[in-house]
């Protein structure tokens, strides 16, 4: 619906241009008074419509290119803090998928997946980045701290509803007939493991992003080395 905010003013600008043309026609026929009124009114209408359409287009571009879609909430519960062992619950927000609990050992959790990014003009028309989550795994604050320690991870199952916005049989046709595909890449984000912390993961047009939801998560994030 946001596209209407720049299309409607553009239509007004077109009507203004039409008034200008009719004004030119009246002047050419010697109707100076009527022609002048049409020229002045058309110029004003066209200028206002064009200005508003540019403002609307900029707003639409900003809204689409900064669009975020909710993916999941990640809740952390300490199991054995002395050994950095935590239960991490992934509650999906992008589809009706059962919660998954994964036991991780480390300083941080990291969620990753595969992303299909489209050209900016396709984003503006409503084609959001599509994705499929792969897994959630452990991470340490430093490589030195993580070397020699076990890798703990869980596969993430289920297809996000966002993929249904672009029917699968459309994709080959779009890719073969239009310059819409930007690139495919792996994306991941991570946050600290802390008892009681809750985080929200969103999909932007550029990849995954995570942010703290409650005080425990914000405190842990602020304390990261």
146-190 pLDDT, tens per residue? 999 999 999 998 777 655 445 556 666 665 555 555 567 788 999
12 pLDDT above the threshold of 90: no
Given a cut of 80, is residue 105 above it in pLDDT?
yes
Give the residue among 221, 156, 225, 148 at the shortest CA–CA distance from 188. 156
- 52: pLDDT strictly greater than 70: no
pLDDT of residue 62: 47
pLDDT for residue 75 is more than 50: yes
Give yes or no for residue 68 having a pLDDT over 60: yes
- Report the DSSP beta bridge partners of residue 57: none
**181-208 tens-digit pLDDT:** 556 778 899 999 999 999 999 988 778 9
Kindly report the CA angle at 94 between 136 and 194, in degrees rounded to 5?
A: 40
Q: Provide the residue ranges of all domains of the chain, joining segments of one domain with +.
A: 4-65, 68-222
Q: Tell me, letter by letter, the H, E, C secondary structure of the chain.
A: CCCHHHHHHHHHHHHHHHHHHHHHHHHHCCCHHHHHHHHHHHHHHHHHHHHHHHHHHHHHHHHHHCCEEEEEEEEEEEEEHHHCEEEEEEEECCCCCCCEEEEEECCEEEEEEEEEEECHHHHHCCCCCEEEEEEEEEECCCHHHHCCCCCCEEECCCCCHHHHHCCCCHHHHHHHHCCCEEEEEEEEEEEECCCCCEEEEEEECCEEEEEECCHHHHHHHHCCC
Which residues make Cβ contacts (< 8 Å) with residue 104, sequence separation at least 6?
85, 86, 88, 136, 137, 138, 152, 153, 193
Prediction pTM value: 0.65
Would you state the pLDDT for residue 41?
A: 63
Which strands, in side-by-side order, build the sheet including 108-118? 153-155, 130-139, 108-118, 181-192
């Amino acid at each position: 619906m946001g596209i209407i905010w720049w299309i409607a003013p553009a239509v007004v600008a077109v009507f203004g241009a039409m008034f200008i043309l009719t004004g030119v026609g009246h002047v050419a026929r010697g109707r100076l008074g009527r022609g002048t009124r049409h020229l002045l009114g058309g110029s004003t209408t066209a200028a206002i419509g064009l200005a508003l359409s540019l403002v609307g287009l900029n707003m639409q571009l900003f809204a689409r290119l900064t669009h975020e879609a909710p993916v999941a909430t990640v809740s952390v519960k300490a199991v054995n803090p002395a050994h950095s062992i935590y239960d991490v619950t992934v509650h999906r927000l992008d589809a009706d998928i059962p919660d998954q609990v994964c036991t991780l050992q480390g300083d941080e959790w990291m969620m990753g997946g595969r992303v299909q990014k489209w050209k900016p003009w396709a984003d503006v028309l409503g084609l959001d980045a599509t994705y499929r989550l792969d897994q959630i795994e452990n991470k340490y604050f430093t490589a030195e701290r993580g070397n020699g320690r076990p890798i703990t991870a869980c596969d993430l199952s289920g297809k996000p509803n966002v993929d249904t916005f672009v029917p699968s049989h459309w994709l080959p046709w779009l890719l073969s007939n239009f310059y819409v595909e930007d690139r495919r890449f792996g994306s991941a984000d991570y946050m600290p493991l802390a008892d009681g912390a809750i985080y929200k993961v969103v999909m932007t047009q550029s990849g995954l992003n995570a942010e703290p939801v409650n005080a425990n998560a914000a405190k842990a994030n602020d304390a990261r080395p």
